[in-house]
Amino acid sequence: MKVKIISLLGSMLVMFVLAGLFNGLVVNQVASENVDPAMLLESPNLALIVLGYALLALLMTLIYPRVVSRPSYSTRSGFLFGMVAGIFWLLPQTLVLHGVYRFPALDLLIDPAWALLEQGIGGAIIGLVHAKFSRPESSF
């Protein structure tokens, strides 16, 4: 249970911070030029954003040990798992949002590519925690 909690909190925090940096530094300009300001909230609803990342991290934490065998637990296997999770998480969402909002076509490449990195790093945290604390000799 502690492995799951540490995996959940670690991956959620890392993905949330990375998303904030990416969206604040990279996407902010693109969004301000291409999204009607009337469609945006005055300030982001951080509670919903945190909840979304908590749900993503929870699902990743629960699925990882079901698709990766214990001897394969590692940062690398976690990163690869996270990349797959990133595709499932963001590619459909990006396509849907492009059906609603006027974004530049380049965004169809940027968002999914970013998801590969962001969720890959979140998955790497999950893999690292599982590798470190799932060993038989570990008392944690």
The structure's pTM equals 0.86
Percentage of the residues of the chain whose pLDDT score is greater than 90? 59
Which single residue is written with the structure tokens 């991956």?
A: 11
CA distance 125 to 131: 10
Report the mean per-residue pLDDT for the chain.
88
At 68, which amino acid appears?
Answer: V
Residue range 5-29, pLDDT digits in tens: 999 999 999 999 999 998 888 777 7
| 84 alpha-carbon distance from chain centroid | 10
Check: CB of residue 96 under 8 Å from CB of residue 58: no
Longest CA–CA span in the chain (Å) reads 57
Residue 74: both structure tokens together:
């590692």
Structural element, H or E, at residue 135:
none
Residue range 27-43, pLDDT digits in tens: 777 767 766 677 677 78
Rounded to the nearest 10 degrees, what angle do helices 107-133 and 46-67 cross at? 60
The 8-class DSSP code of residue 105 comes to T
The larger pLDDT score, comparing residue 43 to residue 136, is at 43
| 7 alpha-carbon distance from chain centroid | 13
